[in-house]
Structure formats: C-alpha cells, structure tokens
Chain A
Amino acid sequence: MNPERTLGEFEQIVLLAVLRLGDEAYGVTILDEIAAKTGRNPAPGALYTTLHRMEDKGLVTFRDGSPTPERGGRAKRFVIVTREGRNALASAQAAYQSLLQGLDLLDAKLFGGAYA
C-alpha cells in the first residue's frame, strides 16, 4: 500500500459514514451517522478538519445543495467519495481483514466470556 494514501482511523470512519449515507452525506448527517453507529460524538471541528484534509488528498469531493431557512439561508455541502477514496478505504480495510484472519474476536474463551 502506498504510505501516502494510508488512512487514519477517523478518516476511515468518516469515509464509511459518507458511503453509508450516499447522496445525503453532509456535516450534520455524517455526525449523526457516526454517533448512531459507533457511539462516538466527534466535535464538528474534527469532522471538518478531516474532510478538508481528505479533500486536499483527493479522497473526497463536494457538491453544493440548495440553501435552506433552518441553516440561515446557507447551502448544504454534500460529500462524495472519489474513486481514490474508495481505493484507499478498501486498502485499509483489507489490511484490517488480513490481520483479523484466524482471530475469533467474539470467542468466549479468548475474552473470558465478556463478549460472549
């Protein structure tokens, strides 16, 4: 894997959330999706920093929506994962899968029944 394309954990979480949301991925929905699926409540600043960094790397791109009154007349900025973003995510996940092979993380014996 090209080390320049390696993704941090939070970058992977954001990319997965964006892919799950499809056409409805923008700041608010991404934060909600991450909170719902991971139990984490990331700060909006952390999300925007990550999104902008990934935009600079070419992993995501944006399209503007139409302005809405509840946003003070400001448009939503929908996030789209580029092909490079998908490839980087697939590489990172393949690495995890490779490391996980042969390990049964839900094995009751391994964790003393905590996850059984």
Chain B
Amino acid sequence: MRKTPIAEWLLAHVAGRDRSAAIMGDLEELAASRSRLWFWIEYLRTLISLGWRTGGSAFILAFVCVRFMYGTVIQWLMNHRAPTLMQAGLFGVYNLHVRIITWNISMVMAQVLCFATPFVVIRFGLRNRLTQLACALFVIGIPFYTLRPWVMDLSGLLSVLIIAAVLVATPWRKPLAILAGTCLSAIAVKVIYLFLLPSVFHHRHIPWMPSSWVDATSFAFAAIVCVYLHHWLLQRPVASDRTIA
C-alpha cells in the first residue's frame, strides 16, 4: 500500500472528503489484485467523471461555448441578415409595440442562454427539467440573430408562448424561476457596470474592463445564482433525513 495524499486531496475537491477517502480505499483494494498502472488509470477516469460536472468546470466550458457562439455562430447569422428590419414580418409594419416586446424578450433570452444552456447541460445533465427548458428556449431564441423580420417575429412569439405555457404547467414553474433568476442576475451585473456605475460615479474614473471580463463576471455571478437556486428549489432534502427501507 502506498500513500497518495495529493491524489486524494484533488479528488476531495470534486467529490468531498468522505467520498474521496472511500473511493481511494476502494481503488486501493481493487488494485491489490491488479497493477499500479490500473490504479492510476481508474483514478484519472474517476476524477474526470466526477469532476467535469462541478460548477467550476461547467463554468469554464460554458464560457468557452459563449465565446464560440459570439465569435462565430451569431457573427455568421448576423452577416446573413435581411437588408432591412422594416419588412412586414408576422405582425405587419404597424404593430411595432408587439414587435418590440417579443423581439426584446427573444434577444435578451437568446443572449444569456448562450451561456446558461451549456452551463446547465454540463452541470445538471440532459435529464434535468431545467436543462430541457433552457435547451428549448435556446433553440427557439437563437434564430432571432438572423435579423430577418419573419424569423424574429416567429422566434419572439414562440418564446412568449412557451413562457406562458410553462407558467401554467406546475412542474415547469420552478425550472423557469431558476432560469429567470440566472438570466436576470447576468443582466443585472452588466447593467450595473455599463450603465449604473458610470451614471452614479460620473465625476470619477471607473476602471475600464474588456467586454470579455464583463461577460465573465456577469456569467460567473449567474452561474452561482443558478446553482444556488437549483439547490434551493429543485433538489430534495439530504439523504440522511430520509427513511431507510
């Protein structure tokens, strides 16, 4: 038997101290009839399978997805936009108020969901209601960036309809509340930095931050809010409180 304190310490960061000690013990016991190489391969596989769904790695991977989306997909969609946004579209040119409401919902939603969707997919998995809702709204929201009035109108209308339907269906309300909290917290950080701080401290110098830093800060805050709300609203009480059969 060899001591592996660094390996155990690393595993404890993704699985917790109790769990990591038991896992290392199991691997030691299994390795007794196998090789030391097997031990390290299985250790690494365990570390990756337990670690890639943690908040930190989900945030990093989701942020990479956001940069990719902003830099390529949305850029490409916007390069293929319609020459004018004043075409009749779904609601006609005289219904600007309807357009403004649905377009704004769709645009803001799609922008924040570029981060929130990959984050919840990695953190909570595809079988989670929050992930399923985020994916549905993302798929409906992202065509907004084609900047073609028909598509934008349809995207906005579908977004509003889905949100209304989710509000009626009880099992989907909590996931919607989590998603709304996540989106609003990301927006709040951006609004505070870009609009509120300059207006309050207009006579002082506010340190300039690159847009990617502002994005990272707002998304980090949104990720924390998302994980907290998910734990608070969707996860059940801890297992130790349950009746053992």
Contacts and interface: CB of A to CB of B under 8 A. Distances in A.
Interface residues of B, number: 36
Tell me whether chain B's interface is mostly helix, strand or loop, or mixed: helix
Contacts of B238: 58
B81 to A, nearest CB: 40
Contacts of A55: 239
A72 B245 contact: no
Tell me whether chain A's interface is mostly helix, strand or loop, or mixed: helix
A69 to B, nearest CB: 7
B236 A52 contact: no
7 closest A-B pairs by beta carbon, nearest first, are: A74-B25, A27-B26, A77-B22, A71-B25, A45-B46, A45-B49, A61-B239
Contacts of B46: 43-45, 48
A72 B129 CA distance: 41
A76 B25 contact: yes
Interface of B: 1-4, 15, 18-19, 21-30, 32, 42, 45-50, 129, 235-240, 242-245
Contact of A45 (B18, B32, B50, B237): B50
A84 B243 CA distance: 8
A83 B50 contact: no
Given A61-B239, A82-B242, A82-B243, A72 B19 contact: no
